[in-house]
């Protein structure tokens, strides 16, 4: 397989990669289950975005299926895969979407209904609009009125000591780069847009 920038890759590495093979850089982003860091592979000097996960938190919050889906994409097993970009486009246009074995049946059904090419059959575009999506089996047990009214217990309630408590966030150094600030010259930048 070839990446968009023309690098030949395989979904199988000759040897497993580990953190010692990379020079870690700045944090690119954080999420509920970890963070993504910029890294340079020491042997090849190629750039990577490495996701560092909190396995115990993923298991505790029962997000294993979600992470397995993400893993299949990260391991070069995306739903549309071909050595030639035109092959990928053809797969997308064919409307055939492959799901991993472990993918939830109701989630798969909902995704297929929302990605249907025929607008007269696509969820969200039908007579009932978003109600078709909300009433799908995948969302069984969701009380949409209570959710909108913010009633009920939140799935995660963080412990905080003060209004400025940041202990629920991972500490990481700020980027060393200065933010780019646009210069205002008195003219509307979108006047001719």
Is 71 labeled as ligand-binding?
no
Of the candidates 137, 61, 147, 58, which has an alpha carbon nearest to the alpha carbon of residue 105?
A: 137
Q: In the block, which residue shows the tokens 């590495």?
A: 13
The answer to whether 101 and 109 have CB atoms below 8 angstroms apart is no
Known binding residues = 51
Known binding residues for ATP = 51
């Amino acid at each position: 397989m070839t990446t968009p920038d023309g690098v030949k890759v395989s979904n199988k590495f000759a040897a497993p990669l580990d953190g010692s093979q990379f020079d870690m850089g700045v944090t690119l982003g954080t999420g509920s289950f970890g963070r993504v860091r910029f890294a340079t592979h020491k042997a090849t000097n190629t750039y990577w975005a490495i996701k560092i996960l909190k396995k115990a938190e993923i298991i505790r919050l029962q997000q294993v299926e979600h992470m397995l889906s993400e893993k299949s994409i990260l391991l070069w097993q995306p739903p549309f895969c071909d050595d030639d970009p035109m092959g990928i486009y053809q797969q997308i246009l064919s409307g055939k979407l492959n799901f991993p074995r472990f993918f939830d049946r109701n989630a798969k059904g909902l995704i297929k209904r929302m990605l249907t090419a025929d607008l007269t059959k696509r969820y969200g575009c039908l007579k009932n609009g978003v109600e078709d999506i909300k009433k799908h089996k995948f969302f069984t047990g969701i009380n949409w009125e209570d959710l909108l009214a913010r009633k009920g217990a939140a799935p995660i309630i963080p412990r905080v000591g003060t209004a400025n408590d940041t202990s629920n966030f991972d500490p990481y150094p700020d980027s060393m780069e200065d933010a780019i600030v646009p210069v205002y010259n008195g003219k509307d930048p979108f006047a001719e847009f």
